[in-house]
Amino acid sequence: MNDTWEFYEDVQAKWRWRRTAPNGNIVGASTEGYTNRADCEGNARRNGWTDDVLSQQGIDNMAQKELNKEQKELNEEQKELNE
């Protein structure tokens, strides 16, 4: 089984990557946030990532985080409307 690579936006809306071994241990991560995803991918590539190793789990994790972010924004909008 291969390592999982995950690309995500941090709380400051900067792109980061994380590499997780099959046993669940994080074995690599970006040391800084990037304004755009392409720069983040470039850094990950220099650390062993290739486009073909982005697993479905990593894609699912990114999708879930995006949904969580959207839900948080909707909750904040609803809260403002209720005030």
pLDDT in tens, 45-76: 999 998 765 554 555 666 667 777 778 888 88
- Residue 59 is predicted with a pLDDT of 59
Contact 28, 7 (CB under 8 A): no
Secondary structure class of 72 (helix, strand, coil): helix
R_g of the chain, CA atoms, integer Å: 15
**The CATH number, out of the four listed (2.60.40.10, 3.30.160.160, 3.40.50.150, 3.40.50.300), of the domain defined by the range 4-82:** 3.30.160.160
Q: Could you give the CA distance from residue 39 to residue 9 in angstroms, rounded to a whole number?
A: 13
Domain ranges of the chain: 4-82
Average pLDDT, the chain: 86
Give the pTM. 0.62
- Residue 68 is predicted with a pLDDT of 75
